[in-house]
Amino acid sequence: MGVNRKLAGALVAASDRNWTGAVLARDKKTGSEASVYLYEGGIYSLELDDYEPSFVSRLIAAGHIDAARLASVRPSLDRETANHMVGRIVVDCGWISVDRLAEYHREYLLAGLGAVLRRQSLRIRESKNEITSRFCILPSGIGELVSEIEIRQMQLDRAASALAGSRHAGSCVLRVMRSTAGVSNGSPELDAFMRAVDGVRSVDEVAAMCGFTRAEAVFHASVLTTAGVAIVAATAEPPAQARSLRVPEDFGMLTVTPGLPGVRSSSLQVASATPALDAQSVSAAPRRTPRRSGAWAETVPLARPKVPPRDLTTQVIARPPAGQGAP
């Protein structure tokens, strides 16, 4: 993987100084900006201006939240901040472990950081003492994260090769050919992906619907095609513009334009004898302005812990009233 040396150097230098703040990387081509957050030299979070994880959908897809549980916590979820709050709530309710929650946060961070590091045309600047409480992990070294990103990319390449060798695996449109019974092998994420496949949505669009990264979605798609349950019906030409990034891996690949009318994918390249299909319109979400607030100090210890606490994002939230939702 070709890593942007300027950004990597800035992160290494910040780590060597045990620096706390945000390294901001702006893509010169698309204008998208990423904020890489460090605490005492360790990277603990990343925010992309034009992408917000659909974390409620992710927890539903993973089976941690069902209809009853969602109904029981809905009063605690503000519509604008639900994706930021829900992780804390499900941990406090005992529906998910802190370690499992951290794995989801880490997947988002690896997907986004990998995409940013692959962009060669970046403007870099530092913003000292900037902090966030969103989608945090325990601070990790840049070398450790880059190694994980490289392994993750190799796994993504292998999974993508199962989708007819598609260069743009996220743009593939799948069509279910037979019953999916027995394919999921108990994986709620794969079940959720299969339910969302409709012969119209691309892999990336299904990923956005379920709260997956592209790497997760492509893996699920490759399982279905390898098992003969689904085929690649078409490959949609990726849009040049959108209102928001569908997956974190889209950083630097899409130009995000606020207020852009619904963009429809076009010029489908048929991969089989089936007719060309129209891909669904790109999700219409407004461009997000990153919130960098002092709330982080209330949820993250101000000294690097020797023993991991409950989680960098965990705080006490009242358990739903008895009788509402699963225990």
Give the contacts of 81 (CB within 8 A, at least 6 positions apart). Answer: none
Paired with 266 in beta bridges are 237
User: For residues 190 and 221, what is the distance between their CA atoms, to the nearest angstrom?
Assistant: 9
Candidates 131, 66, 55; CA nearest to 295 is 131
Q: What is the mean pLDDT of the chain?
A: 80
In this prediction, residue 291 carries a pLDDT of: 44
Residues 6+ apart with CB under 8 A from 147: none
Please tell me the predicted confidence (pLDDT) of residue 1: 56
Q: Render pLDDT for 280-289 as a digit per residue (tens, 0 to 9).
A: 333 344 443 4
Note the pLDDT tens digit of each residue in 97-115. Answer: 999 999 999 999 999 999 9
Long-range contacts from 256-264, C-beta under 8 angstroms, 24+ separation: 256/30, 256/31, 256/32, 256/49, 256/50, 256/287, 258/286, 258/287, 259/286, 263/239
Query: Which of 310, 318, 316, 314 shows the shortest CA–CA distance to 84?
Result: 314
Among the listed residues 91, 61, 101, the one whose alpha carbon sits nearest the alpha carbon of residue 212 = 61
Q: Cβ contacts of residue 67 below 8 Å, gap of 6+?
A: none
Handedness of CA 125, 84, 62, 180 (dihedral sign): negative
Q: pLDDT at position 309, please?
A: 39
Q: Which parts of the chain fold into alpha helices (H)? A: 5-16, 55-61, 67-73, 82-92, 98-118, 142-161, 188-196, 203-210, 214-226, 296-299
Residue numbers in the chain where pLDDT is lower than 50: 263-319, 325-327
- Pairing type for strands 241-242 and 122-128 reads unpaired
Q: What is the chain's Cα-based Rg? A: 20
Q: Model's pTM, two decimal places?
A: 0.78
State what percent of residues in the chain have pLDDT above 70.
77
**What's the pLDDT score for residue 294?**
37
- Name the one residue in this structure whose structure tokens are 């503000």: 78
pLDDT at 228: 87
Output the CA angle 171-135-130, nearest 5 degrees: 115
